[in-house]
Chain A
Amino acid sequence: MLIIKDLHASIEGKEILKGVNLTVRPGEVHAIMGPNGSGKSTLSSVLTGNPAFTVTGGSVEFYGKNLLALPPEDRSHEGLFLSFQYPVEIPGVSMVNFMRAALNAKRKYFGEEPLSASDFLKLMREKRAIVELDNKLASRSVNEGFSGGEKKRNEIFQMAMLEPRLSILGETDSGLDIDALRIVAGGVNKLKTENNATIVITHYQRLLDYIKPDFVHVLYKGRIVKTGGAELALELEEKGYDWIKRECDNL
């Protein structure tokens, strides 16, 4: 579904991604790990179309379409979802209005009628249960005054509502206590089917105890320098990143 070829990207003239290659097929779970500053969050920003970053080379194909040519909203409609590391607070915009606007924009994109109010609220109820999101939170402004754990759960709730084909979890585990981590990971696992795929971006192995990856990639200095199975994550947990850094820097 996703084919990234030799992707280069920069911010304010500084090159962060220096030739990323990655292929993701339906049903797969990929973990992207790496030390701080290696380009993990830049990769997710570029894939979702954050205007702060400039793509300077390479290509990204998503179900045969040139992803980089699409505005962020169309990438979402096509089935790409990013769970933010730091979800944005939007005072004054209620979760209900926010989700309704998002869902109806997607339906419009595919030439469908907007959801009726009752169908929409029913859907909200169903999906809320997946991440045990309190009804009170759903009626508040988007992320405003939410705790760290609530924000992350809210991200997975939005993912459940939008039913993406490819979800990128951007350091979802940072700042989560163990209970929240279990709920969030449980939500992701419940949403998993053989038709969708997940890219888990994480610094630590911890989250991967709950979400089992098929592939683990190590991103370092803007390139994927090592790819392996789930056991690679365990090895990194044990030995840290230094041995990989040495391996690469000696090349």
Chain B
Amino acid sequence: MNSLKQYIDIFKENRRAIDDHSALALNRLRNDACKVLENATLPRKGDEDYETTDLNEMFAPDYGVNINRVNLTADPDEAFRCDVPNMSTSPYYFFNDIYHHHGDFAQQSSGVVISSLRKAASDYPELIAEYYGKIAPLDDAQVALNTLLAQDGIFVYVPRNVVLERTLQIVNIMNVAYPAMAVRRVLVVLEEGAQARMLVCDHTQSRTVQCLSNQVIEVSVGKNAVFDFYELEATAETSNRASSMWIRQAAGSNLLINGMTLANGATRNNYHISVDGEHAETHLLGMAIASGKQHIDNHTLICHNAGYCHSNELFKYVLDDNSTGAFSGKILVAPDAPKVEAYQSNRNVCASTSAKMFTKPQLVINTDDVKCSHGATVGQLDQEALFYMQTRGIPEHEARTLLMQAFMSDVIDGVRIDALKDRLRHLVEKRFAGTLSNCGECAGTCLKVKGKITKNDEI
């Protein structure tokens, strides 16, 4: 059974409604996407780079899509209070995939654009046309599916040499009354010398109904630009997520990505970074904490297409109970990319005997003059350290928690925002202590959202 079929049907039956609720720059790629999908399948378990995650199965449930953009009667102020202190974040909200405008952005004069993608597509059609769908390739079935159905998302544009002082925070809140899929699209463009930081938090308020986030993020990091991107998933076991991020880095740019999963159902994250200019720096970090039946699969590809670049990749997992983790990472150095330094490391702890970790570190080097390394480890907590701590009076469960937290410390240390670093330490501590029970505990209080999509609002 090809799960794409139901979405192609939805598209064909509702083409007009989809277009009406979106914008031309988004609509004009839909036919191409549809053509791709009619001859495609989503990756199945066992396909190359999908050894443990079945995307076809993930999309198989009869998920509803909010074609007619039925709005939720939610007040983000009431729904969400960010308690990442001292970060001066400017929060933007998505309820499922509906953008919530929240206050005005003050820096308009500098040419910065932060807006709904749909609105941006009408306001700045040339800009959107130049980048939308140009970084993420349509021949990837998940990207094509996102392109087929995405009606909105967020657009961030930082002009030449403009530094965005405030960290942009985007909060995705899933809240569904019947099985539904959110289709979100993110486009970020940093021109030469621009600087920006983004934090994206995923939460799920509904706890009994299956939902799926289908997300594609396209990023263009211009020459000498600096971009920090933090993702924090703290959802629920009913929440599944298929996210793919496609980034192009120009010469001299500096990119930091940190993808963190604290709570979820099943998650597949793709990070594809194409380093196209010389002297660029790439830091790709990830952290996965899983228990119960959580499944977390991170796939990364760093293509070094230019010389004199440096990349550093570190993914760490702590898996408990019956959870499964997967990491597949590839570093590819092109033939004409000399003096590249690329390091990849994946380190994992299985805290229970039934947790499983699958790891596939890969290096493909097509030139001689490089320094590259990759490594993966799967192990248990250090028994000697545990005993040492116990002899000092620290009870075993607390010693284990301390060691697991310590294991994650270098991923958190990679965060370049001090307030977020402190907050993450706290969240990770709570997560391991088992007191991170819902998103209300996590980064805010989402418990007062009133609106829910009901069956009648579907299509």
Contacts and interface: CB of A to CB of B under 8 A. Distances in A.
Contacts of A106: 393
Interface in B80-106: none
A71 interface: yes
B429 to A, nearest CB: 10
Nearest to B406: A92
A101 B402 CA distance: 9
A71 B396 contact: yes
B390 A49 contact: yes
Interface in A121-147: 141
A92 B388 contact: no
A77 interface: yes
Chain B CB count within 10 A is highest, among A89, A101, A162, for A101
B124 interface: no
Nearest to A80: B391
Interface in A152-176: 158, 162
Contacts of A102: 389, 392-394
B388 A76 contact: no
B390 A88 contact: no
Contact of B394 (A75, A87, A89, A101): A101
A88 to B, nearest CB: 4
Contacts of A189: none
A50 B382 CA distance: 14
A198 interface: no
B139 interface: no
A82 to B, nearest CB: 6
B398 A105 contact: yes
Interface in B376-426: 382-385, 387-396, 398-399, 402-403, 405-410
A131 B65 CA distance: 67
Contact of B393 (A84, A91, A105): A105
Contacts of A75: 391
Contacts of B395: 71, 73, 105
Contacts of A93: 402-403, 405-406
B398 A101 contact: yes
A48 interface: yes
A221 B392 CA distance: 29
Given A90-B406, A93-B402, A98 B393 contact: no
A77 B406 contact: no
Contacts of B398: 101, 105
A82 B399 CA distance: 17
Contacts of A51: 383, 387
Contact of A158 (B390, B392, B409, B410): B392
Nearest to A103: B393
Nearest to B387: A50
A87 B396 contact: no
A195 interface: no
Chain A: interface residue count, which band?
20 to 34
Given A90-B403, A92-B407, A162 B392 contact: yes
A58 interface: no
Chain B CB count within 10 A is highest, among A48, A88, A141, for A88
A98 B389 contact: yes
A84 B392 contact: no
A4 to B, nearest CB: 18
Contact of B384 (A88, A97, A101): A88
A84 B403 contact: no
Contacts of B396: 71, 73
A27 interface: no
A199 B160 CA distance: 70
B359 to A, nearest CB: 21
A72 B393 CA distance: 7
A76 B405 contact: no
A103 B394 CA distance: 8
A101 B408 CA distance: 18
Given A92-B407, A92-B410, A98 B390 contact: no
Contacts of B384: 88
A73 B393 contact: yes
Contacts of B391: 48-49, 72-73, 75-76, 81-82
B405 A84 contact: no
Contacts of B406: 90-93, 141
A98 B392 contact: yes
Nearest to B407: A92
Contact of A84 (B383, B388, B407): B388
Nearest to B390: A72
A81 B388 CA distance: 11
Chain A CB count within 10 A is highest, among B390, B399, B409, for B390
Contacts of B388: 84, 87-88, 90
A197 to B, nearest CB: 17
Contacts of A90: 382, 385, 388-389, 403, 406
Nearest to A105: B393
Contacts of A73: 390-391, 393-396
A49 B394 CA distance: 13
B409 A92 contact: yes
Nearest to A89: B385
A75 to B, nearest CB: 8
Nearest to A108: B395
A90 B396 CA distance: 15
Contacts of B392: 76, 98, 102, 158, 162
Chain A CB count within 10 A is highest, among B388, B393, B398, B408, for B393
Interface string A57-76: 00000000000000111011
Which 4 pairs from chain A and chain B are nearest by CB? A92-B406, A76-B393, A72-B390, A92-B409
Interface of B: 382-385, 387-396, 398-399, 402-403, 405-410
15 contacts: A50-B387, A72-B390, A73-B393, A73-B396, A82-B391, A88-B382, A90-B385, A90-B389, A90-B406, A92-B408, A93-B405, A98-B389, A101-B402, A102-B392, A162-B393
Given A72-B390, A73-B395, A77-B393, 18 more contacts: A48-B391, A71-B390, A73-B390, A73-B393, A76-B390, A76-B391, A82-B391, A84-B388, A90-B382, A90-B385, A90-B388, A92-B408, A98-B392, A101-B394, A101-B398, A102-B389, A106-B393, A158-B392
